[in-house]
Chain A
């Protein structure tokens, strides 16, 4: 789709950016990252020489200045160690990569949800509830033929099933579903919490492909089922597995996925699909613009909140998840209130006054006199 380039990079671009293990900053390209590392983390504080790696700096300090390097400068508190050999993006431990990617994904969706909540625009690739109708216009003769072939196959299958004494899986299939079946991705529905990103998961991004894009930190938010995750969908759906819209969903198939806003939403659906309050509000805002089929008092309330511009409370769920990877939380610069412990906490009496009270130092006028 020839969409105008927006100011917001999409998730693949973000994930592809090289980033610095020591300070979690990301860069336009690898060259910049490497020069950053040389200037910020691998620079000798004695003579200013820039080394390529922490190990190199350690050897340099040892040989030239006869000193031992104990930590990497300007690094995040838990990344100061010399035990990992980092050069550019090489040498970053796999779990740290995953933490980083998760953080990027989470930030991306939070930012996106905020943008959508703020602007009221529908998510990318989706134009306010008329997606399916528009889709039909794009059908090529080949697609129509394919649809016809599929339709015939299905009718044949139904007949065969009927002949075997099994009830047909669905009532007369409406004319809309073949269009859905024809495209590699089901057309985004108003109720679909997040758009399917343009390309199936970029290579080398296992966490992204593995977790569900619309609920980044919690894979569990998406109930496991036979249907492949959206990012990996390639072929048209095997038709018999697809539940007829509006009818009871096949067991194990997540209803949100096919929920097209026409029928009543399955109870508790938004809570299942969204992991944070932000997302809920974003969903609500999006649904507010779509067909009025959305029921449920809480959603209405969320819509009202979004309309009134009330900021939802910080995404507690996301925070809790982030805290699971404790290292990631600190590294990710989570702006949460940090626990702190002061080594000297008396705000009235100075340490010197306390020291002066100790028998060791106490001054007694008579003693000297």
Chain B
């Protein structure tokens, strides 16, 4: 059986991790990490300093291009080969998420100013298309044809990427504001924490601050919607002396395995669990990490899982700092470690 090993990255970011991204391309091992210490780390190459904490990072069209979302309202493009940084667009509040769709060469950034900016990366001089949102976005994820935006008040908007692309290409000035393809309410009763789309474009998973994950399908037919479900996870029984019951942790990260279609969740309890969405089963749960899991990423071939570990922000924290406790683990998965058994 293939070895399943895990190692800790020697020089983790010096403060909490906000996002992780593996470079596209089957053999790529390149890992980008954005951090509250104002740096974006490209492992095995170096770091790229920003003015402010970086909330999200993603790769662009290739392993040499990256986009970052900054607390300083800026979306930046980084040329990883030269280290050159260019501001792609400016929001009026901190930028929470960036996602890149390689299928449509579109970069989407979501900001706490309650807008989405859609950028045509093929033509950087073109101003981004701004789409107003009904709430502050907290998580964005892209599938081959859709973008799922999770906002406050449990709102979920799903945009169709081809529609966004055609709106960008529209000769009309200013271009028409695209409408969401679907507007949904989150299946979870609490603030959405993370969104991840299935690689086969069939649906997506969301997680909330209340230790729960929901799996839904894009298709709007009744039978497809009947398939959706949610389950509890990342909870711990509290000791009796503290009154018992459950301590419920937020589920901070969700990622789908690019090959097997299973997904991993990372919670504030410091565990990472692998789930089989089809069979509705937990396949495995890894040993507890020293702090909460803030971010997860699978490599493009699904061989590696990067796990960003840092203290989670909890209710009532006045002086949060991830300094000294932030760690980055890379786990090499066995051949079948993330392979589901299929539905039974």
Contact = CB atoms under 8 A, between A and B. Distances in A.
Contacts of A77: 236-237
Interface stretch (A43-51, A233-241, A255-263, A301-309): A43-51
B4 to A, nearest CB: 5
A50 to B, nearest CB: 13
A339 B71 contact: no
A164 interface: no
Interface stretch (B81-89, B172-180, B213-221, B282-290): B282-290
Contacts of B73: 363, 365
B250 A351 contact: yes
Contact of B209 (A339, A342, A353): A342
Interface stretch (B140-148, B238-246, B254-262): B238-246
Interface string A351-367: 11111101011010100
Contact of A339 (B4, B136, B244): B244
B313 A70 contact: no
Contacts of B70: 363
A338 B238 CA distance: 11
B51 interface: yes
B123 interface: no
B328 interface: no
A363 B138 CA distance: 18
B53 interface: yes
Contacts of A353: 112, 136
Interface in A286-334: 326, 330
Interface SS of chain B: loop
A342 B94 contact: no
Contacts of A70: 287-288
Give the interface residue-count category, chain A: 35 or more
B94 A341 contact: no
A72 to B, nearest CB: 12
B248 A347 contact: no
B71 A354 contact: no
Contacts of A47: 1, 4
Interface string B48-65: 000111010000000000
Contacts of A368: 51-52, 72
A1 interface: no
Given A341-B245, A343-B248, A356-B94, A348 B72 contact: no
A361 B36 contact: yes
Contacts of A340: 235, 245-248
Interface string B125-144: 00000000000101000000
Contacts of A355: 16, 36, 53, 313, 320
B12 to A, nearest CB: 18
Interface string B146-179: 0000001100000000000000000000000000
B105 interface: no
A346 B246 contact: no
A342 B94 CA distance: 26
Given A361-B36, A363-B71, A344 B94 contact: no
B102 interface: no
B313 A344 contact: yes
B193 to A, nearest CB: 8
B53 A363 contact: yes
A302 B138 CA distance: 54
Given A343-B249, A358-B320, 7 more contacts: A341-B238, A343-B268, A347-B191, A354-B313, A360-B319, A363-B51, A363-B70
List 8 tightest A-B contacts by C-beta distance, closest first. Answer: A339-B245, A77-B237, A351-B313, A363-B52, A340-B246, A342-B248, A363-B71, A343-B314
30 contacts: A45-B286, A46-B4, A47-B1, A48-B1, A67-B287, A78-B237, A338-B244, A340-B245, A340-B247, A342-B209, A342-B249, A342-B250, A342-B315, A343-B248, A344-B209, A347-B209, A349-B152, A350-B136, A350-B138, A350-B191, A350-B193, A352-B18, A352-B55, A352-B138, A355-B16, A355-B53, A355-B313, A356-B53, A356-B94, A360-B320
